[in-house]
Amino acid sequence: MKRLRGYLAVGFLALGLAAPGEAGSSRATVNTNADANDAFVAGQYEAAMANYQKVLKLAERSHDVQYRAIAMYGLARANAQLCRVTEAEKWFRDSIALRETMPDMAEKAYLTQNLLEFAHFLAANQRPDEAIPYFARAPLGRNQGGVRGRARAVQTDAVSKGLQGAGAAGDIDERHG
């Protein structure tokens, strides 16, 4: 479990992610997402999930696709921290599917973030063969000096660690879900 938590914290920070304040998003959505992120960083994953669920509902009501994807991704990360593998995987897949329908903002690299974090999640759960295609799908071509450049370094490190020692995450199982 320590390895899973470590990869989430390192992956999130390595990609330089911050809570977006997209134009057109309601103040309630933005503030609730900020509360969810604060709870997540504080290790209060149940509280983070409750707030990400609120963000998801607010975003669905206002047809805010960006925050729907953000909430799904937050739910994936919080469930992963709680070792709820099935739920985390579902939310990662849902977030990626939604992100793939949206234009990816080069300076934010949201799709790259989702793909790489899901790949790390799979590798940490002893599934490196499933992780590799997600690493390969991460669009890292442009902006090598920015988020995508940092993502390339994270990807390279995770592939080597995932293929060599994914078994270290062996304490993660469905009993916690």
Query: What are the structure tokens assigned to 71, written together?
Result: 């909430």
* pLDDT band with cut points at 50, 70 and 90 for residue 165: very low
In angstroms and rounded to an integer, the radius of gyration of the C-alpha atoms of the chain is 15
List the one residue out of 88, 85, 22 whose CA is nearest residue 52.
88
pLDDT at 8 over 80: no
List the one residue out of 57, 96, 51, 54 whose CA is nearest residue 73.
96
Helix/strand/coil (H/E/C) assignment for every residue in 18-54 = CCCCCCCCCHHHHHHHHHHHHHHHCCCHHHHHHHHHH
Mean pLDDT of the region 111-136? 92
**What is residue 148's predicted lDDT score, i.e. its pLDDT?**
46
Mean pLDDT, the chain, whole residue set: 76
Q: What are phi and psi of 149, to 5 degrees?
A: -65, -45
Ranges 8-22, 118-132, 143-157, most confident: 118-132
- What CATH class has 2-17+25-170? mainly alpha
**Amino acid code (one letter) for 95:** S
